[in-house]
Amino acid sequence: MAAIKGLGRNIPYLRQQFAALLGNTSTSVKFICVVVLFSYCLSFSTETVRLLSVTPGYLLPPAFWIWTAFTFCFLEIHFWEVCVDIVTVGLCGKLIEPLWGAMEMMTFFAIVNFGVAVLSALFYLFLYMCTNDPDLLFDIHIHGLTGYIAGVTVAVKQIMPDHILVKTPIGKITNRNIPLMVWVMGVILWLFGLLEGTHPTMFLSGILMSWIYLRFYQKHNNGTRGDMADNFTFASFFPNVLQPPIAVVSNTVHGFFVRIGICRKVVRRFDMSNAPPGLIINLPGIDPHDSERRRQIALKALSERLSKDHAKPWQQERAKKHSPVPPAVSIPIPDTTTPKPLASPLIPQVVNTRNDVKREGNKTL
């Protein structure tokens, strides 16, 4: 009862926070959140869960419940999962939608979730072939936005790969570390029985599907497709120690897909800013999107440095104007003429007055 009363007191605060999160977002973001909330109300029916979630044995032929590949993502059976989904979709509307647009965001949402449904079903089919356990085909229900959450982490990695999230004694945690780190945490929670086994499967499928789409197929405004930057390779998801062997395997698989015609051979282009219009030089290992990001970073650093250099003389002039003027100090300078002999009390001194000098002058004349 105390927990229920505490939750009731916090409902206005939670409502205010959700309103601030979903404010100024597109209609598509609000639509997804509303459908997730409505589907949670339907999740109390076991038959509804069976009809809306992906069951590997029913998605594949001969049953072929293809509609579940489009409805499973909206169904959650735990309220904390609903909260995580709404927060993720709201943050996606704040961070990614302004860069991509509402249409591209919905395209990404549909492709990733459909791919997660197919890949997860194939994974459980593979497990069934290895174990011959029919429960893996008919007692497993795949549902929720776990795969799309994985896709959002991959998109954030693409947009801001070097953004530092946490500094630890063993190193820095950036956006490039989040996808693999969250998947490993999910596997650990599943091993301890704190998480359903479908969540790590869906998350890994979401990472693969979103990376394939963003790497090779996403269409940009300049007519290019994909993002062939060196910091967005498949090996970049792993620690630096594991990247060389992972790169060998991934490049071998990509080369095989190119030979059989599934993937196209990538031609990387670099547009020279000072080159004549229409001149394009193909250079290996350089991508225009990556080059543009690096150019913007370099220009920003250069402008900051120039502003500091221009500010230094101005600061010196200002310091001269506002600094107190020290008072003048007079220093006596000794005469450089031949010093007069000191008077001695034993030698009589003769002092010539002005009249004596005149008189002597008349005599000489």
Condensed to tens digits (0 to 9), the pLDDT of residues 63-80 reads 889 999 999 999 999 999
- State in Å, rounded, how far the first CA of the chain is from the last one: 135
Reference 175, options 119, 246, 95; nearest CA is 95
**What phi and psi values does residue 23 have, to the nearest 5 degrees?**
-70, 145
Q: Which of 112, 114, 118, 127 is nearest to 179 (CA)?
A: 112
Query: Which amino acid appears at position 81 of this protein?
Result: E
Say if residues 161 and 175 touch (Cβ distance below 8 Å): yes
Per-residue pLDDT, 273: 57
Q: How many residues does the chain have?
A: 365
The boundaries of every CATH 1.20.1540.10 domain in the chain are: 8-232
Nearest to 147 by CA among 59, 215, 208, 221: 208
Upstream peptide bond of 62 is cis (omega within 30 degrees of 0): yes
Helices (H) and strands (E) in the chain, counts: 15, 4
Torsions phi, psi for 73 (to 5 deg): -70, -20
pTM over 0.75: no
The pLDDT tens digits of the residues spanning 1-58 come to 454 555 556 667 666 766 666 667 788 888 999 999 999 999 999 999 999 999 999 9
d(C-alpha 256, C-alpha 273), whole Å: 35
| Residue 163 structure tokens | 């953004």
Tens-digit pLDDT profile for residues 186-221: 999 999 999 999 999 999 999 999 999 999 889 888
Q: Nearest Cα to 211, choosing from 149, 151, 122?
A: 151
192 phi and psi angles, rounded to 5 deg: -90, 5
> CA neighbours within 13 Å on the CB side: how many for 270?
15
Q: pLDDT by residue (tens digit) across 119-143? A: 999 999 999 999 999 999 999 999 9
The burial class, CB within 10 Å (0-12 / 13-18 / 19+), for 125 is middle
8-232 — its CATH code?
Answer: 1.20.1540.10
